[in-house]
Amino acid sequence: MLQRTSYLTKRYGDSDGHTLAVYERDGGYQQAKRALQMDRAALIDEMKAANIRGRGGAGFPMGVKWSFMPWPPKPEKPHYLVINADEGEPGTFKDRTIMEKNPHSIVEGCIIGCFGIGAHAAYIYVRDELHLAKARLWEAIAEAKKKGYLGDKPFGIDYPVEVYVHTGAGAYICGEETSLLNSLEGKRGEPRLKPPFPAQAGAFGMPSTVNNLETIAIVPTALAMGGDNFSKLSAIHNLKDGGARLFGVSGHVNKPGIYECAVGLTLRELIYDLGGGVKGGELLAVIPGGSSCPILRAEEIVKAPDPKSPLHPYDGKSVLDVPLGVDTFRSLGTMLGTCCAIVLSDLADPVLAFHNLLQFYRHESCGQCTPCREGSAWLFRILDRIVQGEAEVAELDRLSEIASNIMGNTICAFGEGTAMPTLGFLLKFRRELEEFIVTKGKSGTRRLAL
């Protein structure tokens, strides 16, 4: 169900929208001030009721994550809030828009978040090449500090909060939360073994919460509306997937971009109503939420006869008509991920898209786990042989063998993020791949860009 909203994006069109004055004109910082005077438990309950599913990819309920923090905080173990603005997932560019156009919502979210988890410092980890985003964040922090919204006594209340921007050097793996923590500490950005989870030993070994940037930015809105009201914006509120969020669409569409809508939007609405339809040719397939999510073909039909399945209401319908939600898309065998879809037209060659994707993963593995490091290299190498016309059909089985060996066999989810789309492409485009191999590429369109 298409329902445009403008909680985060209201000021996107305003050239001064990023300033404190404009933000405050719209009621900015009222929620932070209120939160600092709330009971912590009540704040967490609001957040739980809001059903904000993590916007970073895994879709974990944010309120629940906050409640995992040890309580009360011990003086020798300060808590930290860490905001993940590394945004490296191909096809994903939503967080960047918030930093550039609505940075105060982030700062305000951080104040509320710090209070919620018992922290007095928040680190925003931003990839270095986002120069405007960094500048806007620094500006916003300086403005808020000057006004006394940050510092020793925000709004005159005795709960010190500082917000820092930390710049990463632009490695996709540094978006993985424990890798991000290592990088934040000045170490090599490599994921840590879990447990311990960040809530037990996160930044600098201290209890920490890692939230995606959009997750924290929506917090003031949810608090202003009240958790329940916010949650109910969503058409799949019953699946505990609440509120509104940013939807992205890119690839072969006429109007790529970021659109804020209530949760419950379908792929069809995203591609055709918001994205302006497929650019050139017909819709071949769509990667629903960033490159790690297995691809869906346009003609797929939902099979969910089991009434207990979250997909049951859509049984027999096109996958394009399923609301974009964490649980609905997981049930489809793919993921909602970052909620930024990549659209592929039938003028493009899925084999080349596959090749392109694997090149990325080979390059971005941190190199720690053998199955991921060696596996991602082998997957790409075999795909390269296919594209060069050197491979045999039997090598497709080797692809699936290697990918299956990565699944569940690595320290972080990057391994699965490589294996799942690989298995997805193999499943959905087996015929195209075989033909490509047999004809040494003559069967394909041999183009990726239109």
Partner 1 sequence: MPRGKQDRYSSRVGEKLFPVSKPVTLTIDGKTVSAKPGSTIWDAAREAGIDIPVLCHSPRLDPVGVCRMCVVDIGGRVLAASCVRPCEEGMNVVTKSEKVERHRSMLTELLMSDQPETCPKESTTGDSELAALARAYNVDGSRLPRGAARSSDTSSKVIAVNHQACILCDRCVRGCDDIQHNDVIGRTGKGYTTQIGFDLNQPMGQSSCVSCGECLAVCPTGALVNKPISLPIVPRKSLKQVDSVCPYCGVGCSLTYNVDESKNRIVYTDGRPSPVNHSRLCVKGRYGWDYAQHEQRLTHPLIRKSEYYPRGPLSPEVTSSRGGEHRKGSHLVRYEDVLPAFRQASWDEALDLVATRLKGIRDTFGPGSLAGFGSAKCSNEEAYVFQKLVRAVFGTNNVDHCTRLCHASSVAALLEGIGSGAVTNTFAGIEDADVALLIGTNTTANHPVAATFFKQAAARGTKLIVIDPRRPDVANYAHQYVRLRNSTDVAFYNAMLHVIIAENLVNEAYIKEYTSGFDALKAEVQKWSPEVAEPICGVPAETIREVARIYGKAKSAITFWGMGISQHTHGTDNARCLIALCLVTGNCGRPGTGLHPLRGQNNVQGASDAGLIPMMYPDYQRVTNPEVRARFEKAWGVPLDPNAGLTVTEITKGALEGRIKGMYCLGENPFLSDPNVNKVRKALSALDFLVVQDIFLTETAEFADVILPATSYLEKLGTYTNTDRRVQIGRPALKPPGEARLDWEIVSEISTRMGYPMKYQSPAEIFNELVSMTHEYRGLTYEVLGSTGRLWPAPDPAADDGLQILFDDGFPTPNRRGKMVPAAFEPPRETPDENYPFVLNTGRVLEHWHTGTMTRRSYALNAIAPEALIEVHPEDAMKLGVHNGDRVVVTSRRGSITLAVTVTTRTHEGSVFIPFHFREAAANVLTIDEIDPFGKIPEFKFCAVRVERAPESSAAAAE
Ligand X SMILES: Cc1cc2nc3c(=O)[nH]c(=O)nc-3n(C[C@H](O)[C@H](O)[C@H](O)COP(=O)(O)O)c2cc1C
Amino acid type, 123: Y
Q: Please, which of residues 130-189 interact with ligand SF4 by CB under 6 A? A: 173
103, β-bridge pairs:
none
Q: Please, which of residues 165-194 interact with partner 1 by CB under 8 A? A: 171, 173, 181-182, 185, 187-188, 190, 192-193
* Candidate segments 84-92, 243-251, 318-326, 432-440, binder of ligand X by CB under 6 A: 84-92
How many C-beta neighbours within 10 Å does residue 112 have?
A: 26
b/e 318-328 (16+ beta carbons within 10 angstroms → b): bbbebbbbbbb
**Residue 137 or residue 372: which is nearer to ligand SF4 going by CB?**
372
Residue 86 within binding range of ligand X, rule CB under 6 A? yes
Supply the minimum distance, in Å, between the C-beta of residue 243 and partner 1: 31
Q: Which residues contact 246 (CB under 8 A, 6 or more apart)?
A: 8, 9, 55, 94, 97, 98, 214, 258, 259, 260, 339
* Candidate segments 32-40, 56-64, 67-75, 329-337, binder of ligand X by CB under 6 A: 56-64
Supply the minimum distance, in Å, between the C-beta of residue 6 and partner 1: 39
* Candidate segments 89-97, 146-154, 287-295, 406-414, binder of partner 1 by CB under 8 A: 406-414
Contact 96, 225 (CB under 8 A): no
**Residue 309 or residue 409: which is nearer to ligand X going by CB?**
409
Euclidean distance between CA atoms 348 and 421, whole angstroms: 17
**Residue 5 or residue 368: which is nearer to ligand SF4 going by CB?**
368
**Residue 97 or residue 292: which is nearer to partner 1 going by CB?**
292
User: Binds 86, which of ligand X, ligand SF4, partner 1, none (CB < 5 to 8 A, cut-off by type)?
Assistant: ligand X
Amino acid type, 27: G
Q: Please, which of residues 202-221 interact with ligand SF4 by CB under 6 A? A: none
Q: Please, which of residues 200-229 interact with partner 1 by CB under 8 A? A: 200-201, 205
| SS3 readout for 79-100 | EEEEEEECCCCCCCCHHHHHHH
The Cα-based distances of 221 to 50, 244, 407, 448 in angstroms read 10, 10, 38, 40
Supply the minimum distance, in Å, between the C-beta of residue 402 and ligand SF4: 14
Contact 328, 322 (CB under 8 A): yes
The one among 118, 191, 227, 424 contacting ligand SF4 by CB under 6 A: 191
Supply the minimum distance, in Å, between the C-beta of residue 411 and ligand SF4: 4
Supply the minimum distance, in Å, between the C-beta of residue 443 and ligand SF4: 33
Supply the minimum distance, in Å, between the C-beta of residue 69 and ligand X: 14
b/e 113-142 (16+ beta carbons within 10 angstroms → b): bbbbbbbbbbbbbbbeebeebbebbeebbe
Residue 348 within binding range of ligand SF4, rule CB under 6 A? no
Site size toward partner 1, by CB under 8 A? 44
DSSP secondary structure letters along 248-314: EEEESBSS-EEEEEETT-BHHIIIIIIS-SBSSS-EEEEEBTBTTSPPEETT-B-----TTSTTGGG
- Whats the size of the chain, residue-wise? 450
Q: Which residues contact 371 (CB under 8 A, 6 or more apart)?
A: 405, 406, 409, 410, 415
The one among 414, 425, 429, 436 contacting ligand SF4 by CB under 6 A: 414
124, β-bridge pairs:
83, 165
Contact 386, 437 (CB under 8 A): yes
The one among 177, 190, 241, 260 contacting ligand X by CB under 6 A: 177
The one among 141, 295, 343, 369 contacting partner 1 by CB under 8 A: 369
**Residue 140 or residue 366: which is nearer to ligand SF4 going by CB?**
366
Positions touching ligand SF4 (CB under 6 A) are 173, 191, 365-369, 372-373, 410-412, 414-415
Positions touching partner 1 (CB under 8 A) are 171, 173, 181-182, 185, 187-188, 190, 192-193, 195-196, 200-201, 205, 361-371, 373-378, 381-382, 385, 398, 401-402, 405, 407-411
